[in-house]
Chains A and B, each alone.
Chain A
Amino acid sequence: AQSVTQPDIHITVSEGASLELRCNYSYGATPYLFWYVQSPGQGLQLLLKYFSGDTLVQGIKGFEAEFKRSQSSFNLRKPSVHWSDAAEYFCAVAHTAAGNKLTFGGGTRVLVKP
């Protein structure tokens, strides 16, 4: 069965520092991978996606993610964090053979220190 693991439940980072959020997936075929961000009290916003091609993908708000098939990983990065990046981040994999359904990881809550 497909699954997504985000090993870090919470991460605290200083404003201006770099950020990396880990995501590991288990999927039998070529995965379609996503990162979403959820601000407090809000729905999810799509940050970026990987379908195929270049393994380094750029997203909105200065985020990027790298797909590494050998490690079954799709880690999210940002070189310099802003206070507004404090939110919860979810990694997801699409079920390409099962009706477009997404399986989400447990999420990583990012706290930004001044």
Chain B
Amino acid sequence: EADIYQTPRYLVIGTGKKITLECSQTMGHDKMYWYQQDPGMELHLIHYSYGVNSTEKGDLSSESTVSRIRTEHFPLTLESARPSHTSQYLCASSDHRLPYEQYFGPGTRLTVT
């Protein structure tokens, strides 16, 4: 079944650790996005990609980085986690034929202690 997956769903980690949040989609979508969502707040776009080897910064500045080596995979990395990175991270994808219809994964809730 075509879907978008995120792992881990929950992560509690100590300050200074390097982490990678995984996002994969099986829908063949060329565009992918990362959003950050604090509890009870709106989503803010932090990264997006138009396709393989394409990555762009979003509207909200983030210390995270992303890569797009394969169409279906769009991982997000934090080199050194800090408590200020505690948030929910949502991955989404869309097809270039329907670019505004974004499909979301279940999210990763990150807590940095």
Q: Which A residues are closer than 8 A to B by beta carbons?
A: 4, 32, 34, 36, 41-46, 49, 51, 90, 94, 96, 99-107, 109
Contacts and interface: CB of A to CB of B under 8 A. Distances in A.
Tell me the interface secondary structure of chain A in the complex. Answer: strand
B41 interface: yes
Tell me the interface secondary structure of chain B in the complex. Answer: strand
Given A102-B45, A104-B42, A109-B40, A49 B100 contact: yes
Contacts of A49: 100-101
A96 B31 CA distance: 15
A96 B99 CA distance: 9
Contacts of B44: 104
Interface string B76-113: 00000000000000101010000111111111010000
